[in-house]
Chain A
Amino acid sequence: MTAARKREPDVYLGTVVGDVVSTHKNERLEGKKLLLVRRLSLELKPEGTEVICLDVVDAGVGDKVLVVQEGSSARKIFDDPWIPVQAVIVGVLDRVDIGGKRIL
């Protein structure tokens, strides 16, 4: 059972833990930046395995980010029905509050 199969939220907060260098890849992914992201818990601790995300906001290693992990939304972002993508970084987080208390 892979992480993708568990019913988890499609939009979540993550942290960028690395980047993936890949020259030999699906042609629709050429020129796209791939980043390794781990999901964040309520305490902003990374949890679970790394997911490889495409990046459209120029995020970098160490950034806390907003991730959309749902295939059809992801394809819509790139306006390409043939791009094999599930997870996309769509925002860099500046601040997160829980119940009025700032946690980031």
Chain B
Amino acid sequence: MYLAKIIGRVVSTVKQDTLHSVPLQWLQPVDASGKERGGPVVAADTFGLGPGELCYYITAREASIALWKLDVAVDAAVVGKVDRLDLASADDRRAEAGA
């Protein structure tokens, strides 16, 4: 699973059968510092999150599993909303680097 920020909603009414009633969101993958990582991704989102919210998503076959089906034509799905990230402090990281 990877961190991402919701950037928008994707609406499509004419779509492949397995995608019916699957809400789609546009995500921008980010790292823990909030820096963008690669290009945006379309993911299924059953949580109804809004733009700007931090979430985590899963890819590949597990995306379909997250939707309780095995045959949904998605490659990414949101599996939760991030309330807070507790990161190792800069001091911890310096100690780890042996500085």
Contact = CB atoms under 8 A, between A and B. Distances in A.
Q: Interface extent on B, as a size class?
A: 20 to 34
A16 B85 CA distance: 12
B86 A19 contact: yes
B80 A25 contact: yes
Looking at chain B's contact residues, the main secondary structure is mixed
A26 to B, nearest CB: 4
Looking at chain A's contact residues, the main secondary structure is mixed
Interface residues of A, number: 36
Interface in B76-95: 77, 79-88, 92
B81 A71 contact: no
A65 B65 CA distance: 26
B71 interface: no
B3 interface: yes
Interface in A11-50: 15-26, 29, 34, 36, 49-50
Interface of B: 1-3, 29, 31-32, 37-39, 41, 47, 56, 58-63, 65-66, 68, 77, 79-88, 92, 96
